[in-house]
Amino acid sequence: MKVVVIGYGSIGSRHAHILRDMGHEVVIVDVSEEKRVKAEKEGFVLYSITPVDAAFICTPPGSHLDNIKTWLGRVNLFVEKPLINYTNFTRLDHLKELTRANQNSMKVDMVACNMRFDPLIQRAGEMLRYGRIGKLISVKVDFGYDLASWRPGVDLTTIEHPGVVLDCIHELDLLTWLHGYVKKKKIYTNYSSTIESMVMMMDAILLFDDGMVANVHFDYHRKQKRRRIEWLGKKGTIVYMERGSLKNPELGSALYLDDELISEEENTNTPYMEQFKHFFYCIDHGFKTCNSISDAIGVMELAFDLHREFDDV
């Protein structure tokens, strides 16, 4: 298929290379001349007014809504996470109206949820469904990295950034995808920010409809990147651990059952490729994707609720 990638930053360039490696024809749009030059040097053609089959929105999240309005219904649409930024919260109802109006367009849309396609997360989900660790009691989610190290040399006060809650929305997406509706939520930490208006750390307890409790921690302060999810059941424990770091991303991830290593995944591009395969499969067969824009709005509302409660602490 012919695909336009809108935004050739870190995630846009990654998507463009993966899509090209998968055999798709990829063209690039970016407002930055520097990034357009970079894209051309890396073998990509810049977009002109010609038909495309799908558009990938990879711009900063504050511009997602305007790009969605431009492309929704015209082509099949893939939107990078987070769906929108806090500044667009009051326009969330408008986004719902757009998705309702798009229902008759016969076009497919999807919001990035690549962690759902991590083979280890999928295996953990199967183990949970088949009761491998008995009745589930709680889940602990721990994610953090040093934001300054992630973007070296960038003055973070001069760029748009969604803050830790929306940046880590993959974890919130996983929790609701695997465990359903969040009945209650509570923030227990004080506001923590070294950058004005950016949430740098969050701790929350989420109570799910079935009585399960999730403890969630996100932060931008940890020097060594960490992503860990622990499912505690009455008969055992499942642990997903991303072993890579900022310096060693190639280490991949691992899955443990009661401290025994049961599976590893070293290709960090696998979840991206698998979610793209799902997206294009749905296009080919006219199916709804697993995380359409209308679906992703629910997780956004949870994130916004957490942010509002955070501000009220």
Tell me, yes or no, whether 288 lies in a domain.
no
DSSP assignment string, 102-170: GGGS---EEE--GGGG-HHHHHHHHHHHTTTT-SEEEEEEEEE--HHHHSTT--GGGS---HHHHHTHH
The pLDDT value given to residue 233: 96
Query: Does 201 share its domain with 121?
Result: yes
Q: Is residue 175 part of a domain?
A: yes
140 and 228 part of one domain: yes
98 and 242 share one domain: no
Same domain, 93 and 147: no
Residue 237 forms part of a structural domain: yes
Owning domain of residue 92: 2-111
- CATH code of 92's domain: 3.40.50.720
Q: What is the pLDDT of residue 149?
A: 76
pTM above 0.75, yes or no: yes
Q: What is the pLDDT along the chain (313 residues), one digit of tens a residue?
A: 999 999 999 899 999 999 999 999 999 999 999 999 999 999 999 999 889 999 999 998 889 999 999 999 899 999 999 888 876 666 677 788 888 777 777 899 999 999 999 999 999 999 999 999 999 999 999 998 887 776 667 666 666 666 788 888 999 999 999 999 999 888 765 545 555 556 778 899 999 988 899 999 998 888 888 899 999 999 999 999 987 654 445 567 899 999 899 998 878 889 999 999 999 999 999 999 999 999 998 898 888 888 765 555 4
Q: What is the pLDDT of residue 313?
A: 46
- Per the structure, the count of domains in the chain is 2
